């Protein structure tokens, strides 16, 4: 397997079924985290199906990529769910898309939702994507029942009040105390993997940036990182600084919005008004400096499409100073509000040991003691020279997730100031060759929710043969089901908001 990654050390293995299982066990024992699992129909050139798995080491500095080519005619492979709980839903997605089954897996559908037939698999090469799908056929879903005296079920979704993406939640409760929660997602599946294959490699970044609207910069950067690795191209230093500036402002916008939404769900409307104001100020300056409130197309292969003048960067730097003061003042108010803190503390708790076993990543993981942030990797330019301070909380409750957002927002403001002051001169984009070398490349970026992975394979004709995008919400949705146990049903909106995981990026 010809695979590359321009930033992280990459260990590549091609294995049979026994080696796949043994390597997974060894990586589990070393504390590695499963980043993603995906499949590919390689029958046209290898005569078989393939499954891939990618792990991140405990230090967040190295990747292990494993390819298992199933024997000809085989549709089964060893399951990973005994070692890595996140694999369960990933395996169900692979089954729905390709018809490949992990041994011992949960066989209920995950993405299909009766939108295509049980024997139809959209990512197989012989699947006719030009044929329009018929209307979904009604189908019951076998939620896991909970029996006992006084136990009843509360069904929520998939259609919710307000402007929110669809997700179905089944609560098993006694009175209002939650005994179990089971989530069913996949309603926003958009078929993006097949859509990538219809685009030229240089065009794929536009789709990547639109996988999840609140993570446009992170997804686009991860895609470009993979494409640039295949093209053996390095963005200029100024472009990398501008990418980091855009990424930190994306992080800031989401944290400011989430902080306001969390405290509002706890009954503190003043906080919503103030943090919404700060987010709006940030987005308006984005429009002025980068051409869009949400700069979907700012990150491009080889660099960026925007090059702010010194006066514009001065405006950004001035805003960081204003926001730093405003955020410090509001944080004092939140910390001193006893009623608010009482509402947040011990609610929706995921202890560090459980977070480790679930393989939690990103912001939610760091709020539960998992000190992993890819920006801390010295090889990840330009973060290596910025030395980001990684915030970690141990309590794992709503209060910890709120506190972590406040700390990360303050650090992002510091990073934005340093990026503006140390912005290198020069070009903002390197030209990529017209012919992209065939192979598989990985792009990995710490988005505001956590690590975003793009696995991009280009074939010998220079076309996208497979592009797999992975959002860290896959790792953290199962934690929501654990976080609510023992709390009451009215706490769920607050707990869910404190995670604020992606439906769109997760479902793909």
Give the other-Cβ count within 10 Å of 25's Cβ: 13
Q: CA 166, CA 342: separation in Å to the nearest integer? A: 30
Q: CA 358, CA 349: separation in Å to the nearest integer? A: 14
Residues near 339 by beta carbon (within 8 Å), at least 6 away in sequence: 267
Is the pLDDT confidence value at 137 over 80?
Answer: no
Q: Residue 140 has what pLDDT?
A: 85
| Cβ 222 vs Cβ 443: under 8 Å | yes
Write the pLDDT tens digit of every residue in 474-508: 999 999 999 999 999 999 999 999 999 999 999 98
Q: Residue 61 has what pLDDT?
A: 93
> Residue 2 — pLDDT band, cuts 50, 70, 90?
confident
Q: Residue 107 has what pLDDT?
A: 94
> Residue 131 — pLDDT band, cuts 50, 70, 90?
low
pTM above threshold 0.95: yes
Mean pLDDT score across all residues of the chain: 95
Q: Residue 130 has what pLDDT?
A: 63
Write the pLDDT tens digit of every residue in 383-420: 999 999 999 999 999 999 999 999 999 999 999 999 99
Residues near 482 by beta carbon (within 8 Å), at least 6 away in sequence: 350, 354, 358
Q: Residue 46 has what pLDDT?
A: 84
> Residue 198 — pLDDT band, cuts 50, 70, 90?
very high
| Cβ 278 vs Cβ 323: under 8 Å | yes
Q: Residue 183 has what pLDDT?
A: 96
Write the pLDDT tens digit of every residue in 59-116: 999 999 999 999 999 999 999 999 999 999 999 999 999 999 999 999 999 999 887 8
Least confident piece of the model among 124-133, 143-152, 220-229, 335-344:
124-133
Beta-bridge partner residues of 37: 53
Burial of 137 (0-12, 13-18, 19+ CB in 10 A): exposed
In Å, how far are 12, 72, 81, 204, 378 from 104, measured between CA atoms? Answer: 26, 21, 9, 35, 40
User: What percent of the chain is predicted at pLDDT more than 90?
Assistant: 90
Q: Residue 132 has what pLDDT?
A: 64
Is the pLDDT confidence value at 129 over 70?
Answer: no
């Amino acid at each position: 397997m010809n695979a590359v990654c321009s930033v992280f050390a990459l260990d590549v293995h091609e294995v049979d079924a026994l080696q796949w299982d043994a390597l997974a066990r060894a990586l589990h024992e070393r504390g590695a985290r499963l980043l993603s699992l995906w499949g590919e129909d390689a029958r046209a050139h290898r005569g078989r199906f393939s499954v891939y798995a990618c792990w991140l080491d405990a230090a967040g500095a190295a990747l292990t990529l494993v390819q298992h080519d199933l024997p000809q005619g085989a549709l089964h492979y060893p399951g990973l769910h005994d070692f890595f709980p996140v694999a369960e839903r990933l395996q169900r997605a692979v089954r729905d898309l390709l018809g490949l089954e992990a041994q011992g897996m949960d066989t209920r559908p995950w993405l299909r939702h009766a939108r295509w037939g049980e024997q139809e698999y959209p990512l197989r090469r012989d699947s006719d994507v030009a044929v329009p799908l018929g209307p979904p056929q009604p189908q019951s879903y076998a939620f896991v029942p909970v029996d006992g005296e006084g136990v009843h079920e509360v069904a929520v979704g998939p259609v919710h009040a307000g402007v929110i993406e669809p997700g179905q939640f089944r609560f098993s409760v006694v009175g209002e105390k939650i005994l179990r929660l089971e989530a069913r997602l996949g309603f926003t599946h958009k078929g993006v993997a097949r859509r990538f294959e219809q685009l030229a490699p240089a065009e794929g970044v536009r789709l990547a940036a639109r996988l999840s609207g609140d993570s446009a910069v992170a997804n686009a950067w991860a895609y470009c990182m993979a494409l640039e690795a295949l093209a053996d191209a390095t963005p200029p230093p100024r472009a990398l600084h501008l990418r980091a500036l855009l990424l930190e402002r994306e992080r800031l916008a989401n944290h400011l919005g989430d902080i306001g939404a969390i405290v509002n769900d706890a009954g503190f409307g003043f906080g919503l008004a103030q943090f919404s104001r700060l987010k709006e100020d940030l987005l308006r300056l984005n429009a002025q400096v980068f051409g869009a409130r949400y700069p979907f197309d700012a990150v491009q292969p080889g660099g960026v499409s925007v090059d702010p003048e010194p006066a514009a960067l001065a405006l950004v730097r001035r805003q960081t100073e204003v926001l730093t003061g405003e955020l410090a003042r509001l944080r004092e108010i939140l910390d001193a509000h006893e009623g608010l803190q009482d509402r947040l503390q011990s609610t929706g708790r995921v202890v560090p040991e459980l977070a480790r076993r679930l393989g939690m990543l990103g912001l939610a993981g760091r709020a539960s003691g998992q000190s992993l942030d890819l920006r801390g990797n010295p090889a990840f330019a330009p973060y290596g020279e910025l030395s980001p301070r990684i915030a970690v909380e141990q309590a794992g409750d709503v209060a910890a997730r709120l506190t972590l957002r406040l700390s990360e927002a303050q650090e992002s403001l510091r990073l934005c100031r340093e990026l503006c002051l140390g912005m290198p001169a020069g070009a903002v984009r390197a030209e990529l060759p017209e012919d992209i070398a065939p192979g598989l490349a990985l792009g990995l970026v710490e988005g505001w929710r956590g690590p975003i992975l793009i696995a991009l394979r280009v074939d010998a004709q220079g076309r996208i043969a497979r592009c797999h995008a992975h959002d860290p919400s896959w790792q953290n949705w199962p934690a929501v089901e654990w976080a609510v146990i023992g709390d009451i049903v009215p706490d769920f909106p607050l707990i869910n908001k404190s995670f604020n995981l992606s439906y769109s990026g997760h479902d793909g």
